[in-house]
Amino acid sequence: MKFKFLVDGVWRIDHQQLFKEDEYGMNNIILVGDGLPVMDIDDHNHADNALTSISFPHEPLLPLRAEDIETTRNRLSQHMSSHTVYELIPDSGKVFALDANVSVEEAFLVMHEEGLSVAPLWDEASHQITGMLTASDFILILMELQRKHVMVAKNVLELSSISAWKEGKLQLQRRPLIKVDPDENLNAIAISILQNHISTVPVLYVAQNSTCPQLLHVACLGGLLKHIHRHFEHRINYLPLLQQPIGSLPVGSWIRGIGGARELLTLPVHELLSDAFKLLLDEHISSAPVVDNKGGLVNIFSRSDITSFAKGNVYARIQLDQATIAQALQLVDKKARSRFGICTRSDSLYHVITLLSNPEVRRVVVVEAGSQRVLGLITLRDVFSLIFRDLC
């Protein structure tokens, strides 16, 4: 059976239900069979399949053509070029900046308590945002101290300022600050983050006849993806690439044998912290799935988990070359699991984007249905690298 909806005098279809194109255009459809019960409460598998089919089909209705990929990319790029960074700034909320002269210990604690993985640094002397403090900075600080066999006594980080570490032998984040203006279009954020291999970019506004910037927002790919999702969630047919199952797309990292642009790196649950952090830094990845001896998903371990060590001054006692990931994950907040989503290879790219549009979700783990064996990992950067290939 075919049907449409009359909305504001215009015939429309619901893209979240099954639809098909015929000589009368696009129509929603309902499949009606003879002799079948209206409801089968005992057949849970059929119920699950029905729920899946009414959202987005696992297989595309029509084969994806090369021009469909370019159409999706062009339409998204055109949309982003017509919207400004201002639209990403919440109507209300908090934005944090740390004084560059604050102690490492205090910065560590603030980032943990506020759930921050990155924070702008404010230099009071110059009245400028001079850099960004990241979770990677804390990892490098602890690794450097322990490499030199210096116990991370509480008073060491208590007396050392962030600026001292930045200007010292570690020379962290020495490149010029990368920032965007609120009047720039959304492509500016994607370009800044993708080309400079960073996770966030501060949005700074400088009033006329002033040299002192105002920090309005810290923009990230998650906020950009949330904007895209909000504008296109009812127009998915306008972006044919998003209807494709992720298993058919060159996106993300995958285990050997499946293929993909990059091979997935995983961490055994009893891996030493020193080796785990070294892997994340050396391979330029923000996280890796933690797996059991059968390759099943246990959790996710990320660079930002280092901030959990601030709780109870754990950083002053932990030895990275002796503690394991399993021990470290016990320190991570219980809600940390909400930072990643789970899907299967047959789920659509739109489904993955929906998961990543949640501000708490930074990555999606692809598992084998039933066994929960880890097959792949898709990050925010992976999605944007696919959609905005020409910007990378």
Write down all domains in the chain, each with its CATH number in brackets: 2-55 (no CATH), 237-303+332-391 (3.10.580.10)
What is the DSSP code (8-state) at residue 55?
A: H
Contact 236, 350 (CB under 8 A): yes
Report the pLDDT value the prediction gives residue 360, as an integer from 0 to 100. Answer: 87
Report the pLDDT value the prediction gives residue 163, as an integer from 0 to 100. Answer: 80
Mean pLDDT, rounded, of the chain: 81
Task: Taking residues 263-273, report their average pLDDT.
Answer: 96
User: What band does 387 get if pLDDT is binned at 50, 70 and 90?
Assistant: confident
User: What band does 73 get if pLDDT is binned at 50, 70 and 90?
Assistant: very high
Report the pLDDT value the prediction gives residue 198, as an integer from 0 to 100. Answer: 92
Report the pLDDT value the prediction gives residue 326, as an integer from 0 to 100. Answer: 94
Report the pLDDT value the prediction gives residue 278, as an integer from 0 to 100. Answer: 95
The two three-digit tokens of residue 217, written as one number: 């927002």
Report the pLDDT value the prediction gives residue 388, as an integer from 0 to 100. Answer: 80
Report the pLDDT value the prediction gives residue 11, as an integer from 0 to 100. Answer: 54
Task: Taking residues 102-122, report their average pLDDT.
Answer: 90
Residue 129 has pLDDT above 60, yes or no: yes
Residue 117 has pLDDT above 80, yes or no: yes
pTM of the model: 0.79
Low-confidence winner among 22-31, 213-222, 279-288, 379-388 (lowest mean pLDDT): 22-31
End-to-end CA distance of the chain: 45
Low-confidence winner among 21-25, 50-54, 276-280, 291-295 (lowest mean pLDDT): 50-54
Residue 39 has pLDDT above 90, yes or no: no
Low-confidence winner among 310-319, 330-339, 340-349 (lowest mean pLDDT): 330-339
Q: Helices in 148-184 by DSSP H: which ranges?
A: 154-159, 162-167
Report the pLDDT value the prediction gives residue 97, as an integer from 0 to 100. Answer: 95
The two three-digit tokens of residue 153, written as one number: 């006594």
Task: Taking residues 170-189, report their average pLDDT.
Answer: 82
Query: Which string of b and e fits 105-133 if b means at least 16 CB within 10 Å?
Result: bbbbbbbbeeebbbbbbbeeeeebbbbbb
Report the pLDDT value the prediction gives residue 332, as an integer from 0 to 100. Answer: 81
Q: Strand, coil or helix: what is 174?
A: coil
pLDDT in tens, 47-58: 232 223 223 334
149 versus 340: which is more confidently predicted? Answer: 340
Contact 190, 330 (CB under 8 A): no
Residue 85 has pLDDT above 70, yes or no: yes
246 versus 8: which is more confidently predicted? Answer: 246
Q: Helices in the chain by DSSP H: which ranges?
A: 44-55, 66-81, 104-113, 135-147, 154-159, 162-167, 186-196, 221-232, 273-282, 325-329, 349-356, 380-387
Low-confidence winner among 66-75, 155-164, 289-298, 346-355 (lowest mean pLDDT): 155-164
Query: CA nearest 88: which of 216, 214, 192, 208?
Result: 216
Low-confidence winner among 119-128, 142-151, 345-354 (lowest mean pLDDT): 142-151
Report the pLDDT value the prediction gives residue 22, as an integer from 0 to 100. Answer: 56
What share of the chain has pLDDT > 90, as a percent?
Answer: 53
Report the pLDDT value the prediction gives residue 25, as an integer from 0 to 100. Answer: 58
Query: CA nearest 339: which of 354, 326, 358, 311?
Result: 358
Task: Taking residues 349-374, report their average pLDDT.
Answer: 94
Cα Rg of the chain, angstroms: 24
